[in-house]
A and B are shown apart, each in its own frame.
Chain A
């Protein structure tokens, strides 16, 4: 908290341009009382003018806190200390809030993830971007608007006057990310801090945003790029710093770090990237997948045994006859405002052979999730049908379908939202088990009364408890987690609970809709390994939906590429990824950031 060299205030642009845009020495940031572990513990790095330094790490590694400290925005209640923190060789350590305000936006800009939330949804982008100019220049309103249009144009938003008056919600993902970057670059600050600027964007948009950052860099802007994705940063970073547990564990040029990783954490992150890894090969070290010792072989034998569900008659016929899941000419249209019609899913057909995985890959808006809902028969198709294990499924009335529901499990991206937040893990799983109890095929909505009270309640509860323990064990979670609430679990643990819940009914088909998209790459690797193991053990058939081509390539036997509601290409994973025939697939693959 020393206040040395507060030379600020003066017009620093007049002096000679120092070569170092940012220097950080021994930065420490802590929250709460002093006894708590610091989030950032002694981080040092330097960024030269026109250089891009990537800080890479998993969630909780302290990379975002580091990024925000560079702007003096570590947060209320943060304890920040450092031996040095200087922008363009001027110390900003211990600056007053007023002095910081003069620098933010002018000397250093910040780009955050998720432009939808990072631009005020109630204000048009022209005003959001114009704010930097209003705060730091004496331009009048008309001049500001003119400048904003220039900045938007430079950010690659053609016809900016068309978009300037819109709010972030009225722009596409790519447009609003450009607007957000334009806002940070409006005053051409010598340093740009970008915190996960491409996360959650489609690969093609991601490539455009990286291009934009690269252009800024070419103009001499120094960039600190924060990311969890080594492949993304490898495209534009000159140097990489790997953060783990609040420390920088490895620094080097991009080539050095990627080709010759010295630290175990770096190697682990590199190994966990699923791109180009053959199907069935593990992504994570074996011990990570199952955190508890297995109950033994017994459940390995008992698990595949199916309850006597009436609709499984097809299972007795030769397995090759019928696919586990088959979609024939599915179509679904939605009516938009002003009478527009949106073909969300348009004549989609595919087969998932028993015991195999079909990966559906596509960008946001391609109709993947609508397809999943149609397959789960949660949404009625306008045309076409879904057949399950060779039997009619989507055409059945829901009353008849309910008996077959246990055969299909679903795993979602946002599992937390799919859990009742008041229930503990034990209760969640017990409900799922009770809901799928074979003696009550028409379970639908009466499970709660049956499982907690009434006839045979105790017996059912005991049977349920054993099954809950078995489920938890099968997804590699410790029994100690049973009494936690989902909000208190880590992302990976939550997704494991989500998988356990999906398996409660002993399904034969599992529909996974972006199951790993919200997870760190190493956790993602563990979950993918787990799904792979479960598939082999329980002979599951998987429909795996993702926007991530690497993940799809890793998990799929067959791949279907979706674009604008249609399947544009199908084939084996090898065919589609090594010799794509459709131009869209080719463009998609070209946009994927790859490690050199």
Chain B
């Protein structure tokens, strides 16, 4: 697949294509690095993987059974061989077999991926909504509004997920009784987990947005627009919000990663199936292939999300960038 692309790049067809090639190469590198780091990191977990396979470190196992398991999973091979075998399997998309659940990791992870993605994407959307409303409300309304906005954002950004989740459960499930404390199949079950993840993120996004919104509203092009007869709302929608969104879009790639790690806590608290809970369970029982599999899939999702945010940035800010072309020469 790389062959025709390199030829195109050599012909210098389009810098955009060259950028794409560089993107893919970067993504492959990141995946390799993640696979390598996780492979060696899980070796540092004390205990014998073969024991974990046969029911955990406490279980009574015969040396013969252990040897058989080691041979079956290739654990008797030198470390380097195991590493290369693992890379080979990953390259073909084979994530291996779970020690604890006795099923292939690929289908397992895929079955859990959907729930977490829905959670993360919805949280990102809700966080954007809250941040936008807060930023536009608190900007251009005097110092007090700005301080209130900024204060709310700082508090929101500082809230830990576990505290927020339990507080929300106490308020909305136990006192008010309007929302279920654990995840249910219908949409109502999604509300509290999404809000838990969205509020701290909205704090971060809101801070960035409000600052760039303030800068944009004070810039000469806004004065020019007003001098043409543009209304406050027109200034906001046609000019300022777009400038305000740029840094928040860039931040969203990172935000997505943090949402997935936040999902570990939230899925556990709300008893919601998903990658986070799968990862936590796998770590608890030292189910190495599942840990590696989840990490690989999360890394891949993160890479894809970064590409999406870059595309969104390019769409919102079509100005040509310096590094778009020059870096290779």
Contact = CB atoms under 8 A, between A and B. Distances in A.
A104 B227 contact: yes
Interface of B: 12, 15, 140, 142, 219-221, 223-232, 234, 238-239, 242-243, 316-320, 324-326, 329
A520 interface: no
Contacts of B319: 121-122, 167, 169-170
14 contacts: A71-B227, A105-B229, A109-B227, A110-B227, A112-B223, A119-B221, A120-B221, A121-B221, A122-B318, A136-B229, A167-B319, A169-B319, A183-B228, A338-B15
A337 B317 CA distance: 19
A15 interface: no
Contact of B224 (A76, A110, A335, A339): A110
Interface in A73-124: 73, 76-77, 97, 101-106, 109-110, 112-114, 117-123
B223 A131 contact: no
Interface in A102-161: 102-106, 109-110, 112-114, 117-123, 128, 131-132, 135-136
Contacts of B225: 120, 131
Nearest to A338: B325
A180 B224 CA distance: 9
B224 A183 contact: yes
A169 B329 CA distance: 24
Question: Chain B contact residues: over half helix, strand or loop, or mixed?
Answer: helix
Contacts of A97: 232
Nearest to A102: B229
A184 interface: yes
A103 B226 CA distance: 11
Given A71-B226, A117-B219, 8 more contacts: A73-B227, A112-B220, A117-B220, A118-B223, A122-B318, A122-B319, A135-B230, A169-B319
A504 B317 CA distance: 44
* A-B residue pairs, 9 tightest by C-beta: A110-B227, A105-B229, A105-B228, A104-B229, A337-B325, A118-B220, A120-B221, A117-B220, A132-B228
Contacts of B242: 122
A77 B225 CA distance: 19
B325 A73 contact: no
A132 B224 CA distance: 10
A335 B234 CA distance: 40
Contact of B239 (A120, A180, A335): A120
B228 A104 contact: yes
A218 B293 CA distance: 75
B250 to A, nearest CB: 15
Contacts, number: 92
Interface in A169-202: 169-170, 180, 183-184
A131 B242 CA distance: 16
Contacts of B234: 135
A338 B224 CA distance: 34
A117 B326 contact: no
Contacts of A120: 221, 224-225, 238-239
Contacts of B227: 71, 73, 104-105, 109-110, 112, 184
B229 A103 contact: yes
Contacts of B221: 117-121
A476 B22 CA distance: 56
Interface in A543-579: none
A121 B226 CA distance: 16
Contacts of B15: 337-338
A565 B319 CA distance: 27
B229 A101 contact: yes
Contacts of A136: 229
A64 to B, nearest CB: 10
Nearest to A68: B223
Residue among A122, A123, A131 facing the most chain B CB atoms (10 A cut-off):
A122
Given A76-B140, A337-B15, A339-B329, A112 B224 contact: yes
A109 B219 CA distance: 18
A135 B229 contact: yes
Contacts of A102: 229
A71 B228 CA distance: 10
A114 B324 CA distance: 26
Contacts of B243: 122
A65 to B, nearest CB: 12
Residue among B220, B230, B324 facing the most chain A CB atoms (10 A cut-off):
B220
A372 B228 CA distance: 41
